[in-house]
């Protein structure tokens, strides 16, 4: 049973380009969480999704960032017109149930570098 799969592991973009980060949750998991980790800092919640629904996006910047978790395929975190401040590690986690009852499993992260 594969764990949470994130790709790409490393992504380099120039300012103004778009970054797309993908997360395939563990098999059977329908809850996906995205977190951002700036260098030398802890994790910051961005968005919580279930299949085809955004449940909580209160941690997402209002502009340039969007997330989806379609019925088929991985969850996508999309960052448009990237800026240097977007350079960070983006972690995806999944669980079978809501966090209060389900164990949380993390992917290896996608490390975005904006030049």
Partner 1 sequence: KNEVEQSPQNLTAQEGEFITINCSYSVGISALHWLQQHPGGGIVSLFMLSSGKKKHGRLIATINIQEKHSSLHITASHPRDSAVYTCAVRIDSNYQLIWGAGTKLIIKP
Binding residues (CB under 8 A) for partner 1: these are 33, 42-45, 48, 55-56, 58-59, 91, 93, 98-101, 103-109
Nearer to partner 1, 13 or 111 (CB): 111
Nearer to partner 1, 3 or 17 (CB): 3
Cβ–Cβ under 8 Å, residues 64 and 76 = no
Q: What is the radius of gyration, based on Cα positions, of the chain?
A: 13
The three-class DSSP label of residue 86 is helix
- What minimum distance in Å lies between the beta carbon of 18 and partner 1? 25
- What minimum distance in Å lies between the beta carbon of 64 and partner 1? 21
How far from the centroid of its chain's Cα atoms is residue 49's Cα? 10
């Amino acid at each position: 049973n594969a764990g949470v799969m994130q790709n790409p592991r490393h992504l380099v973009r120039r300012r103004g380009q778009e970054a797309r980060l993908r997360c395939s949750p563990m098999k059977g998991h329908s809850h996906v969480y995205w977190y951002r980790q700036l260098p030398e800092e802890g994790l910051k919640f961005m968005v919580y999704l279930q299949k085809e629904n955004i449940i909580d996006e209160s941690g997402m910047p209002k502009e340039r960032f969007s997330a989806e978790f379609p019925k088929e395929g991985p969850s996508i975190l999309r960052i448009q017109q990237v800026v240097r401040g977007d350079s960070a590690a983006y972690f995806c986690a999944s669980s079978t149930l809501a966090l209060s009852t389900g164990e949380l499993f993390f992917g290896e992260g996608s490390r975005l570098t904006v030049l």
